[in-house]
Amino acid sequence: MDTHQLIVCRCEEVTLAELLQTAEAYQCSARELKLRTRAGMGCCGGRTCRMLVDQVIAQVTGRVPAHTIPLGYQPPVRPISFQTLGGRK
Structural domain boundaries in the chain: 3-86
Kindly report, residue by residue over 30-58, the tens digit of the pLDDT: 889 999 999 988 888 888 888 899 899 89
**Cα(24)–Cα(13) distance, integer angstroms:** 19
Name the average pLDDT for the chain. Answer: 82
CA distance readout (Å), 24 to 5, 6, 13, 41, 88: 17, 18, 19, 20, 56
pLDDT band at 6 (very low <50, low <70, confident <90, very high): very high
CA distance readout (Å), 89 to 83, 84, 85: 7, 8, 11
The whole-number pLDDT of residue 19 equals 95
The whole-number pLDDT of residue 66 equals 67
The whole-number pLDDT of residue 63 equals 81
End-to-end Cα spacing for the chain: 55
